Amino acid sequence: MAANTKTSRRKVRRRKQLRSASCEAKLCQPPLPLELSNCPASVTMSDKVLSMEDVAKHNTKEDCWVVLYGKAYDLTKFAKVHPGGAKLITDAAGMDATALFDPIHPKDIMDKLLKPSLTMGVVDAATIKPEHVAKAPEPHKPAPKKKKAASSEVEEEVEFKKPPLNAMLNSFDFESVAREVMEPQAWGYYSSGGDDEITLRDNHLAFQRITMRPRILVNVREIDMTTQILGVPASVPLYFTATALAKLAHQDGELAIVKAAKKAGVPYMLPTLSSYTLDEMLEARSPEQQVFSQLYVNPERSRSEEYVKKLEDAGVKALFVTVDAPQLGRREKDMRNKFTQQGSDVQGDDEEDGAVDRSQGATRAISSYIDPGLNWEDVPWLKSITKMKVLLKGVQCAEDAVSAYKAGLAGCVLSNHGGRQLDTCRPGIEVLPEVMEGLKEAGATKENFAVFIDGGVRRGGDIFKAVALGAQAVGVGRPVLYSLASYGMNGIVRMVHMLQDELQMVMRLSGTPNIPSITEKHVIITNLADHIVPLPTDFLVQRTYQGLEPAAKL
């Protein structure tokens, strides 16, 4: 009887703890932005010292403690709504899961997101034994390929051998290698698009609906591709746009991208959803290296203000406010990988007790940290909290671009979030002509309002076409991640050099010796908005794109 009473008291205490835990840790993929937490800024960790034996007692899904970087956290409640599935957390219940956590998340995410009541204490390192440590999975090995020998019709399995870096001739080469060397879950996260992935694919195909109109007998002995992007010198009209979770591609993650940007001579837009902390990314900069930053606005505006101040104090040149993601799109490749990873947990006890649909978990979680109520009335506030140039990232029509100009913003990025949000919306390059026309009618100039595009840029010719239609530069995202996954920092640098070589060739053959000489008269856009124009088959796209599969075919 006494034992039952003690058990009952423990359950009551547990329920009280869980009720107080309104700001749970986001041990998820993708992680939620640290700087956008709804938790108070004065979060402090309990100074109680625990032994690993103490933690190991909490090893069930009903009582789940997890150790990360020497601190024990109670994740019992959060596991039930974890976007990646409860199994990822409960499998590590009562264990040190740092080795599983570190390859993806910033080190300080837990302390930034947790209330003190969920930080149970510091674990005495001397008490952690090998059996207490959750092991990271073995590195992914590419599956053997089936290939026919030249002298035989019989298919045999051939081990994948990564080509040398100098064998990479275009951005699709990097994508094909990345697909082989990346973990399946990481590949699914990077490569996935919204719904049927129509926009994902059309982002690049739209460039092929623009044809060239070259001029002859122009002195093109010297080609100058240099330009200024928001006052930052660039070797080419290109910047690395913000992309999440770069550690999924390579252990150096965003730090490698920062260094590659410096070496290639282009700016990098620091992401909020990063694998490394903001401080670590800023510290990776070379002296005098200038960067931009991306921002998700938090419902608790003071959190965003603190983050923006930190960026400004660090010398960040421009702030790109993401406005196309009040919630996440449905990315089925990514969702299927998560279901596979969860196994029986997907249709297990959680379903019976009314747990949230895992497929919508990330959407549900991120909506707590990105304010879906953000509107034009908030623009004066955005401008008031910083002296940095403020731009909107995710504009998709002329009316909104004109509104941004009239609101006194520094510019906008025409973007559909890499085809990962609303499917069948138009590529940025297709929106560009109507935006430039609308801005011209409103009195905007390139000097007082900058227009950029991202999405689908894979060739130097794509950069040329965007500049010809009025963009000051283009952003690239997936090519950076794929080249990073394939060959690290050196892969990114080579990818940029290839785009530079291609752009130089296009400029020379088009009769445009420098960036200002590239105009709308050098391209024909008659078919740009026509989505039924027959095109020659693009075999590089066809052979690198991984098609969606219905469940019965998996």
State the catalytic residues. 296, 324, 417
Query: Rounded CA gap, 393 and 377, in Å?
Result: 17
What type of residue is 252?
D
Evaluated on CA atoms 442, 446, 447, 449, the torsion sign reads positive
Tokens of 163: 């080509």
Q: How many Cβ atoms are within 10 Å of 24's Cβ, its own excluded?
A: 23
524's enclosing H/E stretch is: strand 523-524
* Strands, E assignment, 12-165: 49-50, 59-60, 63-68, 71-74, 95-96, 119-123, 145-148, 155-158
- Ramachandran region, residue 298 (left: φ > 0; alpha: ψ -120 to 50; beta: rest): beta
Give the residue ranges of DSSP H helices in 37-107.
52-56, 76-79, 86-90, 98-101
Query: Rounded CA gap, 226 and 194, in Å?
Result: 35
DSSP state of 417: G
Query: Rounded CA gap, 150 and 61, in Å?
Result: 55
C-beta of residue 325 within 8 angstroms of C-beta of residue 46: no
Measure the CA angle with vertex 238, ends 410 and 542; round to 5°. 125
Name the residue with tokens 């800024």: 41
Q: How many Cβ atoms are within 10 Å of 538's Cβ, its own excluded?
A: 15
Name the residue with tokens 């009769």: 511
Spell out the SS3 assignment of 157-198. EECCCCCCHHHCCCHHHHHHHHHHHCCHHHHHHHHCCCCCCH
C-beta of residue 25 within 8 angstroms of C-beta of residue 75: yes
C-beta of residue 428 within 8 angstroms of C-beta of residue 358: no
Query: Rounded CA gap, 24 and 16, in Å?
Result: 14
What type of residue is 313?
D
Query: Rounded CA gap, 355 and 155, in Å?
Result: 46
Q: Cα(first)–Cα(last) distance of the chain, in Å? A: 53
Q: How many CA atoms lie within 13 A of 552 on its CB side?
A: 0
What type of residue is 370?
I
With a CB cutoff of 8 Å and minimum separation 6, the contacts of 266 are: 234, 235, 236, 238, 239, 240, 496
C-beta of residue 512 within 8 angstroms of C-beta of residue 522: yes
